[in-house]
Structure 1
Amino acid sequence: MGNSGSAHNYSVGCFNNLKNSMTHIDKVMVKENEKLVAEARLRLTTTINSIRWLTFQGCPFRGHDESQNSLNQGNFLEMVKLLASYNKDVKGVVLQNAPKNAKYTSSDVQKEILSIVARKVQKLIREEIGTSKFCIMVDEARDESKKEQMAIVIRFVNKEGLIKERFLDLVHVHNFFQHATFIINVVSSSTKRNDELLAAQAEEIAREIELGELDTGQGANQMSSLQRPGDTRWSSHYKSIQSLKKMFSATISVLRSIANDRSVSKYSRGDAAGALQIIVKFDFVFILLMMEKIMKITDVLCQTLQKKSIDILNALDSVSNTKVLLGNLRNDGWDPLLQEVNYFCEKNDIDILDLNHKYVSFG
């Protein structure tokens, strides 16, 4: 038989291990995997519960300093730490005790979980509405970073005959006015640039008169400057769009001049180059002309409703007329708008997109 380290005893030990199926490598791996899965589920459950509570209470997630030495790591991490302090099982799998590649605390994970919750809530709202008639209420607002957002609220009558309102979504709208303001600020940054803009505008007016594209007469083709849109008054947005459209070619000329001017700072040249990339795109021109048509209609309503002499009947009549005009624009305005956009792009040497091509989404 030999001593304990003999080949015979070693073979006997291997045989006994072979007979014990619980020591087989596949069983050990399955058992270990089950443990890892259970820990990951507990860790993820803790993250989800923290996010649900903070969302329901309307609390921000992130902190100014989320480092390990911070006294306040933000609401989310502090909530996870609080839950861990009351449960040793949770404490053993979260934060420092979690694998570095599966902590489930990053901002990307938080956003993904929030998007899943949002889709489930939206699904419940759709099920609650069912086949009932509903209306959509939309309002524009800005966050702290001045980004425009569109709040969408659904109003409907439920099965019990009660009027209900449900917040459906908050959508970041196209930052057209932010881009327009940026372009105007770059071009109107100094008196010198304003003079260049007026000179370029004068040349453009003279060229168009020579080509017969502008009428002449007393008070026609007066010089003007770009107008910045205000934060609250939509009439200023309309005037800003009008001025930018009128001085579009002159604006491009000034932006190119700034971008190539070595006497200005590299930051000014960079801003001008960035503004130039924005303004010479088809989508910017399309939105510019589309918004001009829409706001030409809505501006009349805004001006009417601001009159002190307006009464409720005239106000309702103005709203009804505006709805009719917007409906006509939606139903019959596409082809004329597209023709105008194409002509405008050709006039300013901007590439025209082929809208018949297949759309491919990136990202």
Structure 2
Amino acid sequence: MDKFLIKQPRSSSGPSVSSHVAPEAQRETITPSSSNVDCILGVGSLKRDPGERKPIFEYDSNIQDVVRRHYILMGPYQPKLRVYPKTTFGTSNRQFSPEWFNAPNSAWLEYSIDDDAIFCLCCYLFKNEFESRGNAKISFTQDGFKTWNHGPERIRLHVGEVNSIHNKCLNRMLDFANQRQSIQSSIHKQSEKTKSDYRIRLNASIDVVRFLLRNGLPFRGHDESEDSDYKGLFLELLKFHGVNRPDVEKVILQHAPKNDMMICSTIQKEIVDACTKETIKAIIKDLDGDYFGILVDESKDISHKEQMALVLRYVNKNEELIESFLGIVHVGDTSARSLQKVIYSLLLDHSLCLSRLRGQGYDGASNMQEEKNGLKSLIFQDASSAYYIHCFAHQLQLTLVALSKKHPDVKNFFYVVTNVLNIIGSSFKRRDLLQQHQVEKLEELLKSGEILTGQGLNQERGIQRPGDTRWASYFKTLENFMIIFSSIANVLKDMKENSPHDLDKLAVGNLLDKIQEFEFIFVLHLMFKMLLLTNELNKALQKKD
């Protein structure tokens, strides 16, 4: 048992050897996941900490073996903490001893950080096969054991005799694991050519996945059938890769065995998952147990699920400031307590010690910076050196937004600008007319010698709508508005003269009159100069130094 479990990774990053991949075909840096459990149950559905797991019998009988295989490959959860919580028994304080992990016949032992209790992995997985639910003891499977003053003797009592329930579960787990070993041994017996072809095929798929991930490109196509003219980037790029590499072309796609083509969506997801784990592993290795800060933000995805993104900020061995994206996780709610728990779990999963945390940065949301129960305060209570910094660029943005909403002249100014951009930008015909006016104006200025020609000069300007969450975009909008002001006015004049509806003529006429008033022109120049300064400040505030 010890020999088997030593081969399995004990970090929460999951298994590193795929049931689809022969050992000879694995790369040194990328190894697909061995379980499709995330595809079946959803990402993060299986908890690493034994105190958080639901009983094995609560899973559907069709997927219980999938869950068991996942936990066997992960190995027992045995976190090594600097200090374990102490419990008072009479006049003495006792705690869990990590030496119990190394005791003979204790490779099944697990420790729950949340419950401060020990559990038995093999009994959790297979006890329901030997005892009915009503008669089964749950001290080492569901409730955990935490009476530390009787720890070693209770562990020996739990193991029991040769025919005890624990030993039956242990043997059952070993048999279950050996099923996988027999598959691997059969792969070893294949011919060298088969293994070589498999290795080339796998590496080709990995190369394509890495390219797509590096450039943030989609994988799948709308129609990936044989008759489709475009099968999606993954298949098309794999085909292109084969055209340029004859040794690859003769073993991939239609030349590969039908049950071993390494192109299905499951294989793609496993390679992506392996790339994710290797990337995070490289980040943690680069950090090398040094001090770090965290940057956290929350947002909704396209399906309106709340997500939390966490970025590590640290100085590497070359004294370079590094900001690395660690992960994004779904959160049930955005309360400070919930976010704190998710952050702690994510840091613990990657063996990042809270005592090394030296900074925390968020936006200005109340659940983040509230003095008593905000996220910054909760973390500061556990890590007194994790000083909170409100994003200065975000503060600047909030100030500018408050100005635009509170000052009536500025508010009316941006209202008029937005209406002008909407009226012209909503029609391709009006956009073409605006472009035509710009070309004619440019030709006039060149003929009169008022402007010079040269590389990068006199670029075509478009109508760029500002974004509420990116206040710096307002600077670009006003810059374009000033440069092509005469062209905008000409387009509005044409619309006023040629519009078939009186109401449209009236609306366009009012906008044309409004942008030609002194008050509008004054505020345009004033806001442009102010945003010119704040835009430079905004860029400086977002620099890493």
Q: Which interval holds the TM-score relative to the shorter structure?
A: 0.3 to 0.5
| TM-score for the superposition, normalised by structure 2 | 0.28
The structure with higher relative contact order (CA 8 Å, sep 6+) is 2
Whichever structure has more helix as a proportion of its residues is 1
